[in-house]
Amino acid sequence: MTTNNALLEALRWQVEAGADEAIEALPVDRYREAAAPPRPIAAPPPPKAAPATPRLSPGPAALESPIPTTAATLSARGLAGAARSVTELAEALAAFDGCPLKQTATNLVFADGNPTARVMIIGEAPGADEDRAGKPFVGVSGQLLDRMLAWIGLDRNKAYITNVLFWRPPGNRQPTPTEISACLPFVERHIELVSPEVLLLVGGASAKTLLARNEGITKLRGRWFQYESAGMSRPIPALPTYHPAFLLRQPAQKREAWRDLLALQQRLTEAKS
């Protein structure tokens, strides 16, 4: 016990004196150790090959939140399907009470521009400015959209503009699947009646809803898709792109939006020639 206590006291004294390494009984030549070649490390055994699986062709991803079919959806289908013109569709939508957003919005926001235009632009939902004016894309993001269209020689006389939702969500929140479901039959009938040459889908909600895709807008934008519905005799080329409101928050992405607009311009030029 006395020997152990003496050893502990000696060790404590060395720690207090600043000793931070253990000294061995015999000297070690560190230079020789550094010059010695490193010991080879045995390679790990190769992994077992996984069983081959058939490769599947890529297809549309299923929506995380499938759009439900409700009583309001069925009512909307009946009203929208009976419309034989854009004017009749607007009247049917004004009489429709199946979307709860109508109770909190100031105005119905149906469309703006030329319904006989070659390009139909479909955004997400009205904002505060659009709710007051009763027209889509009239606020700051709408002004940017007008400048974007002007870059490729378009304006509201050469394009037709609408949204997936026709009433403003309170506080500009994200729309619910039920709200989209109530408006979607009118959107689909709207496209059928206008029958544009090209669809420009502005924003993630518009692209994911109409193309039934689950990817975000960053993966969908810049790619051409085919939009189809039961009431159409032909598919319509559809190009997703960023929403102007997003570009106002992320100006660096305007370069990608510019590429999308050039792709749209090229498609229109090729179709015309």
Q: What is the pLDDT of residue 2?
A: 57
| Strands annotated E in 173-270 | 198-202, 225-227, 236-241
Report residue 30's pLDDT band, with 50, 70 and 90 as the boundaries: low
Q: What is the pLDDT of residue 68?
A: 83
**What are the structural domains of the chain?**
71-272 (3.40.470.10)
Better pLDDT: 36 or 117 = 117
Please give the Cα distance from 12 to 9 (Å, whole number): 5
Of 147-151, 224-228, 269-273, give the lowest mean pLDDT range: 269-273
Q: What is the pLDDT of residue 129?
A: 97
Please give the Cα distance from 248 to 141 (Å, whole number): 7
* Two tokens, residue 194: 């206008």
Q: What is the pLDDT of residue 81?
A: 96
pLDDT tens figures, 197-209: 999 999 999 999 9
pTM above 0.85, yes or no: no
Report residue 20's pLDDT band, with 50, 70 and 90 as the boundaries: low
Please give the Cα distance from 64 to 124 (Å, whole number): 18
Of 10-24, 113-127, 206-220, 231-245, give the lowest mean pLDDT range: 10-24
Report residue 233's pLDDT band, with 50, 70 and 90 as the boundaries: confident
Average pLDDT over every residue of 112-141: 97
Task: Report how far apart, in Å, the C-alpha atoms of 194 and of each of 16, 89, 187 are.
Answer: 89, 11, 11
Average model confidence (pLDDT) for the chain?
Answer: 86
Q: What is the pLDDT of residue 49?
A: 47
